[in-house]
Chains A and B, each alone.
Chain A
Amino acid sequence: GESVGLHLPTLSVQEGDNSIINCAYSNSASDYFIWYKQESGKGPQFIIDIRSNMDKRQGQRVTVLLNKTVKHLSLQIAATQPGDSAVYFCAETRSGGYNKLIFGAGTRLAVHP
């Protein structure tokens, strides 16, 4: 069935370093991808999205890269801060008005001072 998976369940980084969180997706028909951040006790928070007609998109301190050839997404966080500690999920969907998101398993990012 459709699935979105993550390579690393836990990522520990030093404050100030750059973080890279990876995600693989399996549905080649997916054309819209989103990264969410979930802090303890809260709902997923939208970080950044990318459509399949792009291979890179930048936000504030975050960059998403999309490689459709190998069905791979990554989220890069520059100058990681303690407030970035959370679980990060990638999600995929296919345009069609239904917008059902398929979520990956999640990666926990732990930022150490």
Chain B
Amino acid sequence: DSGVTQTPKHLITATGQRVTLRCSPRSGDLSVYWYQQSLDQGLQFLIQYYNGEERAKGNILERFSAQQFPDLHSELNLSSLELGDSALYFCASSKVNVLALSSYEQYFGPGTRLTVT
């Protein structure tokens, strides 16, 4: 158990709908990352938050957004869903030194499997 929790485990929804995925980081970790894992794209970085602020963006679509709340949990919002959005969505957390001294390992949650029909 990594200490990172994600809900729900599975989500089935229709095209055009909107869903929210939730992540709670490990105790003490201020940084949260979202990744998408699909069969044809592998693990792709979406976005990073540190202590409530967006820090880095990857291949995240305009239809997707995220936020990190004061209690450090994070939500990933996916809207106007398309069939191609079906994937596993992982949240990871780490301690990170934003003064740029070091990187640290990221611990991943169990993921949310999204199926868009």
Assembly CA distance A18 to B99 (angstroms): 40
Q: Is A61 an interface residue (CB 8 A)?
A: no
Task: Looking at the assembled complex, report how far the CB atom of A108 sits from the nearest CB atom of chain B, in whole angstroms.
Answer: 13
Q: Which residues of A contact B90 (CB under 8 A)?
A: 43-44
Contact A95:B43 (CB < 8 A) given known A43-B110, A44-B90, A46-B106 = no
- Asked if B97 and A97 sit within 8 Å, CB to CB, the answer is yes
- Asked if A99 and B108 sit within 8 Å, CB to CB, the answer is no
Assembly CA distance A46 to B109 (angstroms): 11
What are the interface flags for A22-54 relative to B under an 8 Å C-beta threshold, 1 for contact and 0 otherwise? 000000000110101000001111100100000
- Asked if A103 and B42 sit within 8 Å, CB to CB, the answer is yes
Q: Is B12 an interface residue (CB 8 A)?
A: no
Task: Looking at the assembled complex, report how far the CB atom of B22 sits from the nearest CB atom of chain A, in whole angstroms.
Answer: 15
Give the interface size class of chain B.
20 to 34
- Asked if A97 and B43 sit within 8 Å, CB to CB, the answer is no
Task: Looking at the assembled complex, report how far the CB atom of B95 sits from the nearest CB atom of chain A, in whole angstroms.
Answer: 10
Interface of A, secondary structure class, is loop
Q: Is A7 an interface residue (CB 8 A)?
A: no
- Asked if B106 and A97 sit within 8 Å, CB to CB, the answer is no
Contact A97:B108 (CB < 8 A) given known A44-B43, A103-B43 = no
Task: Looking at the assembled complex, report how far the CB atom of B54 sits from the nearest CB atom of chain A, in whole angstroms.
Answer: 11
Report the 10 A-B pairs with minimum CB-CB distance, sorted nearest first: A43-B108, A97-B98, A103-B43, A32-B103, A98-B56, A44-B108, A97-B100, A99-B103, A96-B100, A95-B103
**Residues of B bordering A, CB below 8 Å:** 2, 4, 31, 33, 35, 42-45, 48, 50, 55-56, 58, 90, 92, 94, 96-111
